[in-house]
Amino acid sequence: MLWIKNVNLVDPTQGLSGVRDVVVRDGIISAIQERLQEQDVLAVLGTARIEEVQQIDGSGKYLFSGLIDVHVHLREPGQEDKEDIRSGSRAAVRGGFTSILAMANTSPVIDQRALVEFVRIQGQRAGMARVYPIAAVTKGFKGLELVEMMDMRDGGAVGFSDDGKGIQNAEMMRLALEYAKLTGCPIISHCEDNDLAGNGVMRRGEESARLGLRGIPASAESVMVARDVLLAGETGGKIHIAHVSTKESVQIIRAAKNIGIDVTAEVNPHHLLLTDKDVTLTGTSFKVNPPLPSMEDQEALLQGLADGTIDMLATDHAPHTWEEKAKPFAEAPFGINALETALAAVWQGLVVKGLLSPEQVVKLWSLNPARRFGLAGGTIQVGSAADMVLFDPLYKEMITAESLESKAQNTPFLGKEMQGFPVMTWVNGELLMENRKILDRK
Amino acid sequence: MKWKRKDLLDLENLTAEEIKHILHTAIPMKEILGRPIKKLPTLRGKSVVLLFYESSTRTRTSFENAAKILGADTTNFSVAQSSVNKGESLLDTAKTLQAMNVDLVIVRHSSSGSAEFLADILNAGVINGGDGQHAHPTQALLDYFTIQDHLGGFEGKKVVIVGDILHSRVARSNVVGLKKLGAEVTLVGPPTLLPPEMKYLGVKISHHLDQELPGADAVMALRLQLERQQSGLFPSIREYSKLYGLNKERIKLTGKDTIVMHPGPMNRGVEIASDLADSVQSVIEEQVTNGVAVRMALIYLLIGGGTVNVVD
């Protein structure tokens, strides 16, 4: 039993943003009111003993519905040296995420129901964030045959994606969008034309030219975004565009929404906060796919967030071992480890600067993801499950390899001090993180 | 001037004064090269490792000669006969070299930034012998030495570099330093090999060689990697050669006694015709000689104690 007092509760579903007390009983939100008295709380909780109630002073802090990250790579099965479902879901909880969607580019690829169930069960065993599997679109990511979408949905998949690779064959994507209508789940498209991307390692432009690194033109993404929204329009399928990173992609998605195509889109914090100018020859933590955008692209992404063209934030958490990243830039793998730094990065880089409101953060990172993927959560209201985050905008922390729950440390923020962190995370009413530490179960 | 740097990774961070200091130090080195007995005791007891991940004849030999003339011991750590083939990472190779306590590592590698990667780890000095498409500072320095030798200086001199600029570390390094030295540089090539992003260099970009040749004091042809044609970057060697190949007739458009340069190895009949490559205007062989002198100067500056007057 839990009583959080005087906390700044932000819940866009109810249009609520103000100081409230929140009471939780048996994992369910039982009361939300201003300045509750002890006898009221005891009445709601049906107990006479105040000692049984954990009381938390929330003044100066925010209470958000638990963040939902629709794009994480947990690397299990097969690449447990980088991350596993346990370490990744612990990192999620430490970062304020109560639900995460695990991408299918593991080894083997998640292309059968048994594998979907494995991911789900491993998530339950870890007992941290809720882990929802994303299933592959095509068997073995080969882009040739569809997976058994209905069976996989029944096994727990909440979306389909060959993320990590773009589906090169347009007819394959058309068929996927058409067939997936049976499931009601969106296809998540990793938009990347392999021929245009070539062997590029960063965004093509003056910075790639300066560093002598092969460039990936913005068109490598945008041409496939255009293709996929057209196919979604034609088939009436549901498409979700992963990690939008170019101005042209934003323009295309905006136009597609205007003509009623069922498209949603996510953007990664690193694309909003870093640009190709931040890339250095030895900074492999800045190597990510899609690559860090130009300044102009970044402005378009922020505009897309502001006007609702982009529906959600997502980390694209992509852990890699230290050895894999300790290489010359072109040889290191793509990916940024993000679950434990993303909220702080967005807070200090966008909210503090007035580019995003706390209400928008909750909408973009909790409510909208829950709605698009049909998940529990995304709101704090009486009767809903208590997936919540207590966020302290003043909390400062130095990002170090030792402090991270993730197995990997490939974050551009390593060694930097950040401000604004979750200090408590509850999943289903259970406190799993307190004062930046995971609470291990007995 | 006292030399303070441990490494030479690119020319971005060097001042014009430092570049001139290297060129100045190379003058007595070139004199030594002309002697019948080419051996100095200056760097006796110093160990220089040549770590070449890409095939190279002239650059490796040039460095090796330069180090040996100065009296240093050289070791070739070439890929075919090393543990690199057994899958050792650049990081572990660097740690191995560190443990051997070598004094200087000269590295060539296909990845941009690999020289900087090594320099961050090693206490030893590092000279970049070419990293990916990023930089080839010693080639640029030997080109400057050659230009200075023939043109007397850089201020107001017009240098035209023609070819595959996009993929060329030679062009990048050359432009960076030439600008610092006050030369006027024009880059020429087809749009696919000289795309708009190369404007970051801040020099004139043109796709029409004949328009740029008038008034040129030095013209440098870059080696065309013939496999670029297969990847569609230009339609044929014939058309490339017709538009961008240097020959004796075309060079007359400069209206001057222009010097003709090439970093080698040449594709005769592609980017440069034999009649020009072997003419009196060609300084291509001098570039090779000057390469040894400039590399002697650099090795000396990096591990020889830093003053000029020790040389004899």
**Tens of pLDDT, residues B13-49:** 999 999 999 999 999 999 999 999 999 999 999 999 9
Residue type, A57: D
Chain A residues 275-314 with CB within 8 Å of chain B? 280-282
pLDDT of residue B308: 46
Q: Of B134, B135, B200, which is closest to A206 when you measure between CB atoms? A: B200
Give catalytic residue positions of A: 316
A282·B111 Cβ contact <8 A: no
CA A249 to chain centre: 19
**What is the pLDDT of chain B when averaged over all its residues?**
93
B91·A211 Cβ contact <8 A: no
**Cα–Cα dist A147/A139, whole Å:** 5
**Cα–Cα dist B30/A326, whole Å:** 40
B116·A282 Cβ contact <8 A: yes
pLDDT of residue B82: 63
Going from N- to C-terminal start, the domains of chain A cover 2-63+383-438, 67-373
**Cα–Cα dist A70/A77, whole Å:** 19
Q: Which two tokens stand for residue A321?
A: 């071992």
A211·B90 Cβ contact <8 A: no
Closest residue on chain B to A279 (Cα)? B113
Q: In Å, how far is A280's CA from the nearest CA of chain B?
A: 9
Neighbours of B231 (CB within 10 A): 10
B169: which chain A residues are within 8 Å (Cβ-Cβ)?
212
User: DSSP 3-state helix, strand, coil percentages of chain B (rounded to 5)?
Assistant: 45, 15, 40
* Stronger pLDDT, B80 or A366, i.e. the higher one: A366
Q: Does the pLDDT value for residue B51 go beyond 90? A: yes
Closest residue on chain A to B167 (Cα)? A212
Q: Of A205, A213, A328, which is closest to B117 when you measure between CB atoms? A: A328
Q: Does the pLDDT value for residue B1 go beyond 50? A: yes
**Tens of pLDDT, residues B227-236:** 788 888 999 9
Q: Which secondary-structure segment (H or E) carries A97?
A: strand A97-102
**Cα–Cα dist B99/B278, whole Å:** 47
**Cα–Cα dist A384/A413, whole Å:** 35
A328·B134 Cβ contact <8 A: no
B112·A211 Cβ contact <8 A: yes
Query: A204 touching B, CB under 8 A?
Result: yes
**Cα–Cα dist B133/B150, whole Å:** 28
A282·B117 Cβ contact <8 A: yes
**Cα–Cα dist A56/A59, whole Å:** 9
DSSP letter string, A130-179: EEEEPBPSBGGG-SSSB--HHHHHHTT---B--TTS----HHHHHHHHHH
pLDDT band at B226 (very low <50, low <70, confident <90, very high): confident
Residues 6 or more apart in contact with residue A331 via CB below 8 angstroms = B111
Interface of B with A (CB under 8 A): 89-91, 109, 111-114, 116-117, 120, 131-135, 166, 169, 172, 195, 197-201
Comparing C-alpha atoms, which of A264, A268, A323 is closest to residue A291? A268
DSSP letter string, A47-84: -S-GGGSEEEE-TT-EEEEPEEEEEE---TTT-TTT--
**Tens of pLDDT, residues B140-161:** 999 999 999 999 999 999 999 9
At residue B130, the 3 state secondary structure works out as strand
Which residues are registered as beta bridge partners of A130? A99
B113·A326 Cβ contact <8 A: no
Supply the ipTM of this predicted assembly.
0.92
**Cα–Cα dist B94/B83, whole Å:** 12
Would you say B19 and B174 are in contact if contact means Cβ atoms under 8 Å apart? no
At residue A311, the 3 state secondary structure works out as coil
DSSP letter string, B190-245: -TTTS-GGGGGG-SEEES-HHHH-TT-SEEEEPPP-THHHHTTSSS-HHHHHHHH-
A204·B197 Cβ contact <8 A: yes
B109: which chain A residues are within 8 Å (Cβ-Cβ)?
328
DSSP letter (8 states) at residue B282:
B
The CATH architecture that domain A67-373 belongs to is: Alpha-Beta Barrel (3.20)
Q: Does the pLDDT value for residue B307 go beyond 80? A: no
Q: Which two tokens stand for residue A247?
A: 């101005």
A-B contacts (CB, under 8 Å)? 67
At residue A359, the 3 state secondary structure works out as helix
At residue B127, the 3 state secondary structure works out as strand
Closest residue on chain A to B113 (Cα)? A281
CATH superfamily label, A2-63+383-438 = Urease, subunit C, domain 1 (2.30.40.10)
A328: which chain B residues are within 8 Å (Cβ-Cβ)?
90, 109, 111-114, 117, 132
Q: In Å, how far is B178's CA from the nearest CA of chain A?
A: 16
Q: A330-355: string of b/e by CB count within 10 Å (b at 16+)?
A: bbbbbbbbbbbbbbbbbbbbbbeeee
B120·A282 Cβ contact <8 A: yes
**Cα–Cα dist B2/A42, whole Å:** 79
Q: In Å, how far is B96's CA from the nearest CA of chain A?
A: 16
- List the beta strands (DSSP E) in chain B: 47-52, 73-78, 104-109, 125-131, 158-162, 184-188, 204-206, 218-221, 259-261
**Cα–Cα dist A238/B146, whole Å:** 64
pLDDT of residue B311: 47
- Label each residue of B163-192 as H, E or C: CCCCCCHHHHHHHHHHHHHCCEEEEECCCC
Residue type, A91: A
Q: Does the pLDDT value for residue B312 go beyond 50? A: no
Q: Of B90, B91, B169, which is closest to A212 when you measure between CB atoms? A: B169
B135: which chain A residues are within 8 Å (Cβ-Cβ)?
212
Domains and CATH numbers, chain B: 16-134+289-303 (3.40.50.1370), 137-287 (3.40.50.1370)
**Cα–Cα dist B233/A349, whole Å:** 41
DSSP letter (8 states) at residue B57:
S
Q: Give pLDDT tens digits along chain A (442 positions).
A: 999 999 999 999 999 999 999 999 999 999 999 999 999 999 999 988 999 999 999 999 999 999 999 999 999 999 999 999 999 999 999 999 999 999 999 999 999 999 999 999 999 999 999 999 999 999 999 999 999 999 999 999 999 999 999 999 999 999 999 999 999 999 999 999 999 999 999 999 999 999 999 999 999 999 999 999 999 999 999 999 999 999 999 999 999 999 999 999 999 999 999 999 999 999 999 999 999 999 999 999 999 999 999 999 999 999 999 999 999 999 999 999 999 999 999 999 999 999 999 999 999 999 999 999 999 999 999 999 999 999 999 999 999 999 999 999 999 999 999 999 999 999 999 999 999 999 986 4
Would you say B32 and B69 are in contact if contact means Cβ atoms under 8 Å apart? yes
Comparing C-alpha atoms, which of A61, A59, A60, A66 is closest to residue A24? A66
